Amino acid sequence: MFKSNQIQRPQLVLVVDDQEINRDALGVILEGKYEVIYACDGKEALEKIDEHIDELAMVMLDLMMPEMNGYEVLEYMRENDRMRHLPVIVLTADKDAELKALQLGAADFITKPFDLHEVVLARVGRIIELSEGRKLISAAEHDKLTMLYNRNFFFEYANRLYNYHPELHLDAIVMNIEQFHSVNALNGRDFGDDVLRIIGNEIRAFLAETQGIASRFDADRFDIYCVYNGDYRDLFDRFQQKVNSISPNVSIHLRMGVKPWREKVEPVLMFDRARAACNMVRGNYQKPLMIYDEDMRMGELLNQRLLNDLKSAVKDRQLKVFYQPKYNIQCDPPKLSSAEALIRWDHPELGMISPGAFIPLFEGNGLISVVDNFVWHEAAKQVAEWRDKYNYTVPVSVNISRNDVFDTTLIDRLKELVEENGLDFSHIKLEITESAYTENTKQLVDVIEGLRNLGFEIEMDDFGSGYSSLNMLSSMPIDVLKMDMKFIRNIETNETDRRLVQMVLDIAKYLKVPVVAEGVETENQLEILRQADCDLVQGYYFSRPLPPEGFEELIKREITIERN
């Protein structure tokens, strides 16, 4: 490292205090190490700062002074581009004054009567060092548009509040604008800037009523670290109303996540959680406010755990494929027709985990294709194994998730799978959920046509949970409709549900495809479905999803029935 041989000039510090005794006391402490100049009130302070701005390393500022007090000095400095970055340590005897000074941009405090010399020197040294480093990275403290802190300084100050003011119970609040990019795109950047500025103003107005700081974290994310004892709903409404008043022609929706103060938790973590809460209500205009609570925390820990553990789960064969039979109920006795492959995770510590706990998680980040690929291979091997062992073929349906549909290698992978195991294309059926159909119709139709041309059968899963129109359905390549479970649940008692089931069956008849009713649990439900001409049934009434050994019993039973 470069070292100068010249004796370095000591750094220049300005001490501002109306009381001579205080000026002297600080002079004694500082003069061994710094060059010190003095001012007796705010006015003189600003003159000296102006004169020495290029040499000054810092200002030590009393708050209570006649003429122009310390707050006014801070305020002036903050509005002044040249002075804004000069660090100020506030001298005060009043704890409550500290926060206000911090909000005005003070870097630190020294309480009167002055602490031990070493302590004062250490704090001055640290602030100067920090500020020099800060000049190097040369980040401006405030976001020009909203005059809130930018993210780096925000966290520096948040940490300071957290460390030096344990008596303050500060909540973390994250606020976001829904679809801000389209607000910009539709109304122009200037309008977008206005929106941000108005939110910034309202946040500053809010902070003036309580204690806290705020930043514009990125484009349209605002972080507020503050004391708030009211209802968060009211706070949300306050900002939303402000935004509503901007223009009668543009509707702008905010969303908000809150991590309320409960115990000492570092600001960064508090804001991670507030952000997680805020993300959970993304796009949810009915419920734009989310409070982070214990349930969310447990859920997040579990998700993290599952994401970490997936790799070893595949390697250590913790993933298991279960099979649930589908029966043709128009035969007497009902005849085993096929099965659905359903994934289970036999976790060494968490026990058997059902797919509801991890499928949506993996769908969110693409890992689902790892799971699906595994299931497809297991299922295909299993069909071949049973065929060889019992001379009996049970076709198996596998679930295809949204992500898979848009993977260009899908068709080749499935083709290879069938060929590798010496199967017929009709032995593997593909379940695609209805909601995928509504998303990207053209591409989906192409992929499905490709699969059907090979000979795969396509089952539309969870039919009735999405919003396919009859029109769309008739142009869709589908071989089977799987009726959503919710229709069956109350079929015995609810007349409307029974009519809906009848309607689904009529639609299927019109499309000339069979229907699978899922979630059938009772004899009564089965009877109603049989009378209504439903062909196939899957549900606990016949069997829960079973491990392969268990499913083999059903195969053996079927073979016995056929022989007699």
- Which residues sit at the interface with ligand C2E, rule CB under 6 A? 324, 342-343, 354-356, 359, 368, 371-372, 375, 399, 401, 461-462, 518-521, 538-540, 545
In the list ligand C2E, Ca ion, none, the entry touching 403 (Cβ below 5 to 8 angstroms by class) is none
The one of Ca ion, ligand C2E, none whose footprint includes residue 375, by CB under 5 to 8 A per kind, is ligand C2E
CB of 360 to Ca ion, least distance (A): 14
List the single partner that 343 binds among Ca ion, ligand C2E, none, CB under 5 to 8 Å by kind.
Answer: ligand C2E
359, interface contact from ligand C2E, Ca ion, none, CB < 5-8 Å by kind:
ligand C2E
Nearest to 203 by CA among 277, 261, 254: 254
The stretch among 7-15, 142-150, 230-238, 399-407 that binds Ca ion (CB under 5 A) is 399-407
Where does this chain touch Ca ion (CB under 5 A) — which range of 59-67, 142-150, 271-279, 423-431? Answer: 423-431
Is 309 near Ca ion (CB under 5 A)? no
Residue 453 Cβ vs ligand C2E, minimum distance, rounded to whole Å:
23
Per CB under 5 A, does 461 bind Ca ion? yes
What does 355 bind: ligand C2E, Ca ion, none (CB cut-off 5 to 8 Å by kind)?
ligand C2E
Q: How far is the CB of 266 from Ca ion (least distance, A)?
A: 43
Q: How far is the CB of 520 from ligand C2E (least distance, A)?
A: 6
CB 17 within 8 A of CB 62: yes
Residue for token digits 């590798």?
Answer: 420
Q: Where are the alpha helices (DSSP H) in 344-424?
A: 359-365, 368-390, 402-405, 410-420
State phi, psi for 326 to the nearest 5 degrees: -115, 130
Residue 11 structure tokens: 């750094």
Cα–Cα nearest to 292, from 239, 256, 335, 254: 256
Q: Give the full edge-to-edge strand order of the sheet including 12-16.
A: 35-39, 12-16, 56-62, 88-92, 108-111
For ligand C2E, the closer CB: 170 or 343 = 343
Residues 229 and 170: beta-carbon distance below 8 Å: no
Question: Which listed residue (431, 434, 535, 558) binds Ca ion by CB under 5 A?
Answer: 431
Residue 521 binding: pick among Ca ion, ligand C2E, none (C-beta 5-8 Å cut-off by kind) = ligand C2E
* Residues 112/91, Cβ–Cβ less than 8 Å: yes
Which residue, 114 or 541, is less far from ligand C2E as judged by CB? 541
Q: Which of the stretches 109-117, 140-148, 289-297, 391-399 binds Ca ion when contact is defined by CB under 5 A?
A: 391-399
8 Å CB contact between 460 and 478: yes
> Applying CB under 5 A, does 459 fall inside the site for Ca ion?
no
Strand 457-463 with 480-483, pairing: parallel
CA pair distance 58, 294, nearest whole angstrom? 44
Q: Does 399 bind Ca ion (CB under 5 A)?
A: yes
- Decide: is 401 part of the binding site for Ca ion (CB under 5 A): no
C-alpha dist (Å) from residue 206 to 146, 167, 199, 239, 260:
14, 20, 10, 10, 17
Dihedral sign of CA atoms 32, 33, 39, 41 in order: negative
- Reading the block at residue 513, the tokens are 């495809």
Residue 215 or 525 having the CB closest to ligand C2E? 525
Binding site for Ca ion (CB under 5 A): 399, 431, 461-462
